[in-house]
Chain A
């Protein structure tokens, strides 16, 4: 195959940014040491506030919420990394996906069918968004963002018109109901399932990104779109594919998250805020950044809600502010 060497060449393209080893060593040790000490003090303080069992339960709560965010943030970051499109409609995709899931579960009783149908339906919505709405203003970053926020209002209001405003949980399949008992530590089965799903999907995404031709094209596209296009790869098709895949994951997230976070009007913006916090903290455009971000944001949110419920949103604010001032592109973002 004539393009085999190209793909191999692309696959070995060194990735810029990340941990960039040129920094001052002593300073970097100081930063990491300081972070470790601050972290230790924080954990010690938390443990004075709650029992060890509660502590582990909160960690799992944080990770399961983070798992839902991972499906959202990984697609969001992929779309941004490739196309520089900030898809603020991602929260709307999540909400509509969840509501479609409810309708499917009500009609067929199958939770897994609902996951598939929702994800596919939102994928089609993504196709429409990218091809019809965003294509005419391709490359105009700010109009693109504003268009997607307008789309979110439409999606949210239409959901309200179709599915009503009552908070609705998606019924879970029977075998995921109830609690899991591990040596006296009791925890809801469904949340463990969500974490497992995110780990599996995350592993697949990392594998695809690192090891497959598709991943090589995406990575190359992130690094240098013009060259990729010049090499004869249909970059527009890659864009559309990535946008649809991101939408697919958002629809999937709507069903998997809607089953334990319940769906209600306005949640599109709430999950959007969390997804933004993830990419602002973790760094935009990198899968690793999204994975790190969801763990941090999930844990901050769950411990914040448990310890200072009045300020539950606000707990995201301080870490975001610190990171924005020190590292405007996020922890693992590229400069």
Chain B
């Protein structure tokens, strides 16, 4: 059976199996602290993947995605800390809040593209942040909402880790199905030229709303996972930097792929936690990383690796074409 898959496919399959085996074995190898970090990185990776669904596949880069995941997290937190409702109600409220925010933001943003889309989503994220610090009765303002316990069967750190792993793996598979579906392929058309897609008869506005809702759903999942992992939610979860880090992770790992954002998230989460021990200037480092990645590494790690891999395959006689993503210019479609 393996013979029917290409060499690249077999390598990918092998890496996926190895990654999953590592994920399952991790709690037997690492201590509580590291497992906590891996859980955090998995959640950040899911968040970055949902950003990449918009940014990498559909070409709609968002700087307000933490506004969506944060709204979901606040929905859970409000039901847990302020209402005292049960877990089904908490999670239901989280989903409802996250998807409502996605719908409103999506309708607002669906007619814009390119840099306008970035500006609109940035403003949306900032407004969620503004509400989180001022709407005291719901969000607890600067102090946030604390005392949000995990559901009984996933209370322990390793139990919650396995839940996180399961949700992330299932989401990853779903995302894989989405991006390889005809709809996913049409998103790439949207990225390359919205005008041409419209001329081909696609309802691009509807496409954009639909992909925004899908990305919003996965962001919502990551927000709900995060709030139970931390046990609290505060405005720092929805600041602009949270959205921007998601974008940075996606680009650093390799935009337009699903594995890239996950790798980027692991790098950023571990670097941030290690660096924060030694220096207090993490935002500066993050900003520098942003500048360096944008200037010199727009195709990210996965892009660099697949370039090298393809060169190696070339020498063996087979080649695959690559697609430009962040390198393509939108000048022609500007107003």
- Tell me the A residues contacting B by CB distance below 8 Å: 80, 84, 86, 88, 133, 136-137, 139-143, 145-147, 149-158, 161, 269-270, 272-273, 276-277, 279-280, 284-285, 309-314, 316-317, 320-321, 324-325, 328-329, 333-335
Contacts and interface: CB of A to CB of B under 8 A. Distances in A.
B123 A276 contact: yes
A335 B335 contact: yes
Nearest to B124: A317
Contact of B120 (A156, A269, A280): A280
Interface string B88-115: 0000000000000000100111011011
B298 interface: yes
Q: Which of A88, A141, A147, A309 has the most CB of B within 10 A?
A: A141
Contact of B127 (A149, A314, A333, A334): A314
Contacts, number: 149
Interface in B256-304: 281-284, 286-291, 294-295, 298
Interface in B106-140: 107-109, 111-112, 114-116, 118-120, 122-124, 126-127, 129-131, 134-136
B135 A153 contact: no
Given A137-B294, A147-B295, A313-B130, A86 B335 contact: no
A190 B136 CA distance: 32
Contact of B284 (A84, A147, A158, A312): A158
Contacts of B178: none
A189 B102 CA distance: 45
A312 B130 contact: yes
Contacts of A88: 122
Given A328-B111, A334-B335, A277 B123 contact: yes
A333 B112 CA distance: 13
Contacts of B287: 150-155, 157
Given A150-B294, A154-B283, A335-B335, 13 more contacts: A84-B331, A133-B291, A142-B114, A143-B298, A143-B326, A150-B291, A151-B290, A153-B284, A154-B287, A155-B287, A310-B136, A312-B134, A320-B120
Given A139-B331, A145-B115, A150 B288 contact: yes
B61 A146 contact: yes
Q: Which 6 A-B pairs have the closest CB atoms?
A: A150-B290, A313-B130, A153-B287, A154-B287, A157-B283, A328-B111
Interface stretch (B2-10, B153-161, B240-248): B240-248
Contacts of B283: 153-154, 156-157
Nearest to B132: A313
A273 B134 contact: no
A147 B291 contact: yes
B143 interface: no
B334 A84 contact: yes
Contact of A324 (B63, B111, B286): B111
A157 B331 contact: no
A279 B119 contact: yes
